Amino acid sequence: MDSGKNILIAPRHKIFLRFIDVPSMDDAEIKSMAVLQAIKEVPFLREEITVSYRNLGVFRSGFSSIMLAIAKKDMISDMTKKNKIYGVAPESIRLETELLYLLLCKKGIINEKGVDLVISIGKDYSELMIIDKTRPVFSRSFKNSGRFSQEVNYSVMAYKKDRNAKDPDGVKIVRRPNIEGLTYAIEKNFTVPVNFYELKEDLSREDLPAQIDLAPAEIAERNSMMLRKKELAFTYLLAGFAVLLSVIFTYFKIYQKQGILDVMSLRLEAVGPHVNIL
């Protein structure tokens, strides 16, 4: 992800998020299946939602695991209007969950051989995520309140409804530097090791290989058009540079040839009297 771009981050609590397996490993087929699955997951028309996903890889033969993100276009439109920077619309809208997951992997916080229960504590909302050997398999967001511990327990119960759910090997609690008070109070709820991490990074500025982009089609088309214009301008620049080099080379050859002729002329003039004597 280009840290120089105008990036908006969609918070988890505003996004429908599902972790599913689709019976294909072809990118075009996966994209079509993701859209069809999204329509089944939410009570909205296709034209009312924007859909994106992250391909998490193949974990059983013939199937691809994806992190499917669904957002209402109205919500995305409101985000875009409220967060325009210097009057410029965002170039992409990323999902907070995906960026957090990628950052935790980048920092080596995630256990590559076990199951992690991650609780990300934000200012107003928090998120509980289950990551199985670096593959996210569950996520739930909830509002911070006096029911924080109950919400954590409810999230764990929701995760365990899946018959394939594995018990966590450890708990990772991550928070921002200005978030206090909630972290250590929930440690007593777990019998597995609990570790605490403070994240100071700005997710919109980190160089993370995000795949989910919830920007509306018109933004994607605008960005694509701008990219084509840049590529065309670069092509013209290269062509102009090539022509300039060709002209310089031609003039150099002419100058070099003229120099050789001048030298030969001088030598002939010097030899001329001797020839006459002979």
Over residues 191-249, the pLDDT tens digits come to 888 899 988 888 988 889 999 999 977 655 555 555 465 556 666 677 667 667 766 66
pLDDT at 33 over 70: yes
Task: Tell me the H-state helices in the chain.
Answer: 27-41, 73-82, 96-106, 148-160, 217-277
Tokens of 224: 């694509």
Count of Cβ atoms closer than 10 Å to residue 51 Cβ: 21
Q: What distance in Å separates the CA atoms of residue 6 and residue 181, rounded to the nearest whole number?
A: 33
User: What is the sign of the dihedral through the CA atoms of 240, 242, 243 and 249?
Assistant: positive
In the chain, what percentage of residues exceed pLDDT 70?
73
* CA dihedral of residues 195, 200, 202, 205 (deg, nearest 10): -100
Rank 23-27, 172-176, 242-246, 260-264 by mean pLDDT and report only the highest.
Answer: 23-27
Please check whether residue 172 is in contact with residue 128, taking contact to mean a CB–CB distance below 8 angstroms. no
Better pLDDT: 178 or 77: 77
DSSP state of 62: T
Sole residue written with tokens 């009297």: 273
pLDDT at 27 (0 to 100): 95
User: What is the sign of the dihedral through the CA atoms of 228, 221, 64 and 94?
Assistant: positive
Tell me phi and psi for residue 232, to 5 degrees. -65, -45
pLDDT at 31 over 70: yes
DSSP state of 170: E
pLDDT at 256 (0 to 100): 63
When the pLDDT of each residue in the chain is averaged and rounded to a whole number, the result is 83
pLDDT at 218 (0 to 100): 64
Give the mean pLDDT of 103-107: 95
Give the mean pLDDT of 248-264: 62
Count of Cβ atoms closer than 10 Å to residue 121 Cβ: 21
Q: Give tens-digit pLDDT for 128-146.
A: 999 999 999 999 999 988 8
Q: Give tens-digit pLDDT for 107-127.
A: 999 999 999 999 999 889 999
* CA dihedral of residues 15, 19, 22, 27 (deg, nearest 10): 60
Please check whether residue 20 is in contact with residue 164, taking contact to mean a CB–CB distance below 8 angstroms. no
pLDDT at 166 over 80: yes
pLDDT at 224 (0 to 100): 53
Helix (H) / strand (E) containing 195: strand 194-198
pLDDT at 183 (0 to 100): 58
Closest alpha carbon to 138 in 111, 165, 163: 165
Give the mean pLDDT of 39-54: 95
